[in-house]
Structures are given as C-alpha cells and as structure tokens.
Structure 1
Amino acid sequence: MPAADTTTWDPRQYLRHSGHRARPFVDLLARVPELPATDDRPPRIADLGCGPGNVTRLLAERWPTAHITGFDNSPDMLERASGLAGPTAGGGSLEFASADAGSWAPPAGTYDLILSNATLQWVPGHPDSFPAWTAALTPGGTFAFQVPGNFDAPSHVLMRELSESERWRDRLAGRLRHADAVLSPTAYLERLASLGCEVDAWETTYLHLLEGQDPVLDWVKGTGLRPVLTALAGEPTEVREAFLSEYRDLLRKAYPRTAHGTVFPFRRVFAVARKPA
C-alpha cells in the first residue's frame, strides 16, 4: 500500500508464501492488549495496508464482534480481498475500502485498534503520521505494526546494486527503497512514547526454510521486486527476463540451496503502542 507510487501488485504471487508472511502478523497480534470495553457498540478495527485480506480475517477470530475495515490502495489486492467481506461468525463484520497510507487520517476517536502489517516501509515519512493515527484511537486503544527490517540483507542489496548498475540504471535507478525506509525499534519506541503511548517495540529475525527452485526470487517477486517488475512491464519480454536471470544468479550464490531447502533470514521490526485510557 505505497503512497504516491505506481507499483502494481499481484495477489497470487504475494500469496505463494502466505504461511511464512503471516507469521509476523500472528506474532504482532499476540502482543496486542485487549481493546477498550464498549457496551454501546462493537470494537472498531482498521487494518492499514490489508493486501488480499488473508490476515485481516484473523482479526475477526480474535475479536468476533468487531467491525473491521481493511484499507489498501491496490485495486488488485482489494478485488481479491472483497471475497472475504461480509458478516463474521461472531456477529461482527469485515469490509474493505480504498485508502492511501500516506494520506489516511481518520477522525479522532474512530478506532479501538489500528494495525498495519508489512506496509509502512512503502510510505516515505510514515512516522510523521503517528500523531494523527494515535489521535484516531479511542482512549485505551492500540496502534500496532510490523515492517521488514532487512534492507541491508543480500536480497535487497543485490537488487539495488543490479538496478543501479551501468546496464540497468537508465531504467531502474531510484526505483527501490533503501535502508532508511524504516526506523530502528528504539527510534519507533521514542516516537510513539513521545506521543504519550505505552510502547512495546522489538525485532525478530525469522529463518524461513523455503522450498522449490529459486525460492528467494519467487518470494521477492511478490513484494520487494514489485517496483522493478512494474518498471519493466512495458519492456520487451527478453529485457525483463535478462534482469531476472542476472538477479537470480546473484541470489543463488547469496542463498545457496541445502539438502533441507533454502534458508532465507528475514529481520522484522515490531511496535505496539497503547494510548492512555
């Protein structure tokens, strides 16, 4: 759900590693405290950057009576998510709507929980939106998110170096995010604590064991490589395949296949901020 960005998204490619991608969301959700008690209305939850909705529906399992809205600015992702919309088994509801995380600012006291999973890294200057998002919480409400923290990993470093090489820079230079796309856990903690929130911030490195031929390439085709694939979409097929071939060879060396599969370390940064009651 990038702001002011033309990247196109492929829900089917994204969901090819849905089990691995969902795990950080589940870990984040486990640290979210109970929502403020309300007798006159159901809990109200926003999932900012919901993608195809595959993890948004997990919110209904945690809060069965909640009114949950998933926001995204990708028409393809929202079309895929729309099949999950409707009443939930616990008496709540699930809906999806178009919104851009770069400009989204709901009225004060709108939500009991605002949650974002692997989205804010696409939004330049996203910490500047924290005051508006925490203001949109009800007293005792929570803002929780996780973002990739692997921009210095070989998968991203090699992608940037290749895109900025002499052969590709005319087409691709400046398309990719750099290490400053996200903050450190400490910096997020300080930003949110300065807003008066009680903050839990941490990082985790997952060791994903991937199967198949060139699984790291297959993974990044669904996420980090999307700006490159979008930029090359109008080029002849052989041009796109030439880039993928070069990048694939680099990834094979960086992430060698073992007898048990391909180990793909992936660092993620988490923060859970609770507004005072």
Structure 2
Amino acid sequence: MTAVADPPALRSRAPLRRRTRGPRRWYRLISPLVLLVLWETAARTGVLPEEKVPAPSLVAQTGWRLATEGQLSEHLLDSLTRAAAGLLIGGTLAVALAATAALLRIGDNAIDPPVQMARMLPHLGLVPLLIIWVGIGEELKISLVALGSFFPLYFNTYAGIRDIDQRLVEAAKTCGLNQWERLRHVVLPGALPSLFLGLRLAIGAAWLSLVVGEQVNAQTGIGFLMMEAREFAQTDVVVFGLLVYAALGLLSDTLIRIAERRTLAWRRGLQAT
C-alpha cells in the first residue's frame, strides 16, 4: 500500500499557523503601550496633575530607586511569602472540601450548604472580626488571602467535577477500572479545566486580599510601602506599588495559563480569529 501525499494546502496550513502565532502575541502589547503614551503625554502637558497622577517615567524612576536601595526586594519578598502561604492554605482546603462535596453525598449535604451561605459574606468585611480572632499580625494577612482564594477555587472545582458526564464514568467502570483509576483517568482530567479557571480567579482574589491585609499594622510588604508613602504624599510610590501588584497578578496569571496549556494539551478550544 502506498502512502497518499497530503495536499499542498494541508501541508502548509500548520506551519503557517505556527509562523503567525508568534507575531500575533505581540499585538497584545499594543494597547498597554498606547495607554502608557497617553498617560505620559497627559502628565507632561498638565492635563493630569503631577501631585495626583505622576507620569510613568517618574514612576519608573521611583521604582528603580527603590530597587537599587534594596527596599523593593525586601517588601516584595514579604508580600510573596504571605500570598503563597495564604494561597496554599486556602487552595488546599478548597480542593479537598470541593472534591469531598462533589463525590460523596454525605459530603455534599454536610459541606456545600455552609459554604454556600458563607460565600455571601464579603471576606474583606470580616477584617474587624478576624482582628478579634487572630490579632493584627501575620495571621490576619494570611487569613485574608486564604479566605479570598478559597471560594473561587472551591466553586469551580465543585462545578468541574459535577459537570463530568456520568456516562464516561459508567464506561470506565464497564472497562474494568477501579474507583481510584476512574478518579485518575476520568474525574481528574474532566475537572482540570474548571480547576485551572478557579486557580486563576483565586490568585486574583489573593492579591486583592493582600492589598487590604498589608495596610493593617504591617511593617513590611508592598501594601505597607504604599501606606507609608501616603503619609508623606509620595504619590509616585503609591502608583508604583499599585503597578507592582498589577504586574504580580499578570505574571501569576500568565504562569497559570502556561501550565494549563501544557497540562491540557489534549484539549482544543475555540481560537480567536
């Protein structure tokens, strides 16, 4: 049997897609660069008062000064440590409870109703109560991050498991897979897309919670740096701190996207045209 050669159009389609995918990624930088140019122009021409919204070039100079003096690395390390600790605690608890509630009827009846009620409470509004419970030290900041990251990860993991087609589980059982193998080969791959979505939302909520937590009796951290700058009307430092939080959120989301793309290489979703 002789192999049939692919048509030229089919042979060239995949390489063309690979060639054009790289340059198109740079298109995402156009709008942020345009906003920076408009911001710089408005600040230099006096449209935006410098004491309220400093120019990006001034903010960049402030950031470079903080980096060379060593302040930025110290505060950044403490913020990353708090965010990682809170995300680890809240994320682990969320995945464990969501899996228990989604897979076991008794877990669903015991866990899901209290979580559904608790999610209606704004976790940032619980700061006064958390201060009474855990004090105003590091426990408060880590608790806020854990609470902020818990609910997005819990609900997406729960929904991801429950949305798996029951016929797939029954087919795996018919093929002789035991319970652990069904969890590994059917439930886990089916829930991973929702789990990654929940993780992205959880990281965003974690950074938001950290901004609030580091403004309560903190001695280090990006939030403390911003609060200290506010006392001396150093708007450039405040804006730089906000940009650091934004950059950390963008970086973490990008890393999760990369991990998701590699882990879910088998999935082909709709591509933008």
Q: Larger strand proportion, structure 1 or 2? A: 1
More helix by share: 2
Normalization by structure 2: what TM-score? 0.24
The structure whose Rg is larger is: 2
Q: Give the TM-score normalised by structure 1.
A: 0.23
